[in-house]
Structure 1
Amino acid sequence: MIGYISGKILGPWDRGIIVDVNGIGYEIQMPSSSLANLPSSGNEVTVFTHLVWKDDTLSLYGFETIEARDMFRLLMEVSGVGPGLALKILSVLSAGELLQILVREENNRLRAIHGVGEKTAARLCIDLKEKARAILAKRQWYVEPASHIEQVAAGDLWNDALSALTHLGYGSSETRAALARAFASAGESAGLEDLVKKALQFLAKGHTKQA
């Protein structure tokens, strides 16, 4: 098993990055959300990896943190979840977010991810809830109760707005707080563009703390 790879980034490829280690280029598939956080081509990088051998093909999957790599492995313990789907899930959710979603059994948040159907979402929560709870307890991470606003907005609109703000470079916690305030201010009938604009206003002013 290859636990991690350290080397020089040669550049992106269609599904991840290529890392040069002593003249050997390793193709490493990564969550799309991680690619923007990596150093530019020519710089040194360390990626925590998991090796998958399937149909006589070796594939390397890489992650910024050990926690994300371990979540990737945990997801693949569930029947019907292969490396491709696990990577999609971790392209949308951080390890911490996913653990809390599993503990709270928020199937709707999982179903919003492309490729995760109703049965798969339910199976993920059923199979991994207690394991996720144990991981959170071990790391002493607090499981936040889902707010009323987030429960109401937990469908596509919430996820689309959250994705738009995240792609603009804002962190997950500040984005959720600003978006919750935007929902409270604009009302549940607001459209995606209005919500994103209002959330950006709160982020610009630094008013991201829940009242």
Structure 2
Amino acid sequence: MTTTTAPTATCDPAIAVTRSLLGYGILAGPFYVVVSVTEALTRSGFDPTRHAWSMLSNGSLGWIHIANFVLTGLMTLAFAIGLRRALGTGAASTWAPRLIAVYAISLIAAGALRADPGNGFPAGTPAGPGPMSWHGTGHFLAGFIGFTSLIVACFVLARRFAADGETRWAWSAWIVGVLFGLGFIAVAAGGGASWSILAFTAAVIMVCAWLAAVALHTYRQAAPQL
């Protein structure tokens, strides 16, 4: 009687590294949102309708949000590297990872360049926006560059998804890019109005969730075919 042995799955080291890097993209967005929401709910004097999450970098516990920025940026940078490896050639294979890498670096810069306190936060800060410092200006510029890069990355990835016949993913990329852009414009032009801060916060949560979903989708596609 002849016995057959099922083929043993082998782990391609290159695929394993790519999937590990993509895994950081699955974690980055949820990590940033969970830490930020926890801070927003527990930091004395913080009002989500009046204060953007970036302002959590101020005060005696500001180091937590600074670390949040830096760690999220490093995880997003790892994701960008993994995405470059996973996409191979074709539409968006070069520019989507590069644009996401710029966004990742902007997060690290946003941690290093603390947002200015204002509107009564942290406790003891006068009401109103207050003067803009050099690091506050740097924080704004880092955000502008990073968010613009991320918006463009959404549109570039939409082209890749469309080329691959993934229509729903292509539409999601277009929608997220447009909505995130509108959220960024709202907070930049809203003059600190509650609606603009809430709109931007919702846009940040949306784009973080979408990037995590894209990372998970790409992670699954990078699985070895047995």
TM-score, normalisation: structure 2: 0.24
Larger radius of gyration: 2
The answer to which structure has the higher strand fraction is 1
TM-score, normalisation: structure 1: 0.25
The answer to which structure has the higher helix fraction is 2
User: Looking at both structures, which has the greater relative contact order when contacts are Cα pairs under 8 Å and sequence separation is at least 6?
Assistant: 2
